[in-house]
Amino acid sequence: MKKILFSEHETYYRSLGLRDIDGLEYVFGGSRFYNKEISFFKKFSGFVCAFYTMPHNTLLTLKFKSLNKRTLLCSDGIFEFSNAFENPMITKYRLSLFHPIIQDCFLSVGKREANYFSQDVEVIQYMPERMLSQTDVIDLSKDTKVLITTANTAYFNELEFCRLKSLISEVAELLSYNSIKFCFRIFDEKLLSALNVDHQVYNDINRGFEETLADYNSVITTPSSIAITAMYHRRSVALLVYRDWPMYLQAGWLLPSAKVLESSLQDFISLEESRIEIQNKILKSYITEVGITECIDKALVSKPNYNCNKVDAHIDISMMNMLESKFNFNVEWYVRKLYLKFKSNKVFKDIRKWIK
């Protein structure tokens, strides 16, 4: 029986498709054990983590490596260079997402993405189950309608916000001019408010994405995992292009401007056969036959490795982040401080006298 420690909560990994199988035992919420002695981890066969910026995962990875046990890092969606290098939620920790990867193995989404990371680390490609919660292809709608949507975090600064807002607005104007029905699916209140100044459009956010997809035949979106979902369900998909970063994710159509869309709008709306064929081939580079459970089981078989290139610097930064974290504090020091504070309090003095 292989006993595996997962750093994050069970619900997170179950949403990725983790199943119970014979021969594997799971322990979740492992980040709480980061300060345990190394001997505590001898009972585990391997360590799996997903949150790259969490310094606890770096520390736990090092402890497992010191025991010559396998360590795995798991991604949960498509990889974007812009997100890796410009997302403030990552850069505030002085890190770049997945650069470097200090674990022995990386579970990656996408064939081309896997090839990129395999230059520095062992990679196994997989498809998170939550990207395709409905495997039966959803029937096309009888109504020709377009869904304009975005990733949850679609911009990382004001310049990107303005570019994206302008691009969506131009596309919406083009669709309106050609009498093509469309709706938004935008969760970002700032972006939605800016768009609503010029376009009073229904915001279709009350259902899950695949349930919503049943009402639309075409999807225009920023680069995100939902593009894969829409392509799987045979919708025509166009990616909004408003950054200069390279992109691994592709679709049947790319939209750097409404002018570009104008020349192929009819093909997009009619799901032109040759474009959809291209799109289906792109999709194949993301679909896998095995899920996260089989990938983890396979990854535990190989021997651990240590690639020191850029790893030491990453470790130093992660350890410094842990020391500087507002959530990291010395309990003994904190209790002593409270004791000294209340020690001079009159009520506390009276209680001590009464106890004596």
Return all residues near 60 (Cβ < 8 A) that are at least 6 apart.
Answer: 5, 7, 30, 31, 33, 34, 41, 47, 49
pLDDT at 315: 65
pLDDT at 349: 45
pLDDT at 110: 97
Return all residues near 353 (Cβ < 8 A) that are at least 6 apart.
Answer: none
* CA distances, 277 to each of 22, 111, 310 (Å): 40, 18, 41
Are 157 and 229 part of one and the same domain?
Answer: yes
Which H or E run includes 219?
A: strand 218-221
Q: Within 233-330, where are the H helices?
A: 258-270, 273-284, 292-299, 311-324
Are 167 and 87 part of one and the same domain?
Answer: no
**CATH assignment of the domain containing 52:** 3.40.50
Residue 140 lies in a domain: no
Are 163 and 267 part of one and the same domain?
Answer: yes
Which tokens belong to 131? 């990207």
Mark which of 262, 284, 306 sits at the end of a domain: 284
**CATH assignment of the domain containing 263:** 3.40.50.2000
Are 13 and 47 part of one and the same domain?
Answer: yes
Are 188 and 249 part of one and the same domain?
Answer: yes
Q: Within the chain, where are the H helices?
A: 10-15, 55-66, 81-86, 88-91, 111-117, 158-177, 189-196, 209-213, 225-232, 258-270, 273-284, 292-299, 311-324, 331-343, 346-355
Residue 190 lies in a domain: yes
Which tokens belong to 205? 């956010």
pTM over 0.75? The answer is yes
Residue 344 lies in a domain: no
Are 160 and 81 part of one and the same domain?
Answer: no
Residue 26 lies in a domain: yes
Are 74 and 196 part of one and the same domain?
Answer: no
134: amino acid identity, one letter: Q
Q: Shortest CA distance to 191 belongs to which of 226, 165, 159, 228?
A: 165
Are 250 and 296 part of one and the same domain?
Answer: no
Residue 136 lies in a domain: no
- The count of structural domains within the chain is 2
Residue 266 lies in a domain: yes
Are 28 and 68 part of one and the same domain?
Answer: yes
Mean pLDDT by 10 residues, the chain (356 residues): 96 97 96 94 98 95 95 97 97 96 97 97 96 92 95 96 98 97 97 88 96 98 97 98 97 97 96 98 96 94 60 60 52 42 46 38
Are 169 and 222 part of one and the same domain?
Answer: yes
Residue 331 lies in a domain: no
Domain that holds residue 243: 145-284
Are 169 and 278 part of one and the same domain?
Answer: yes
- List b or e across 64-87, with b for residues whose CB sees 16 or more CB atoms inside 10 angstroms: bbeeebbbbbbbbbbbbbbbbebb
Are 175 and 256 part of one and the same domain?
Answer: yes
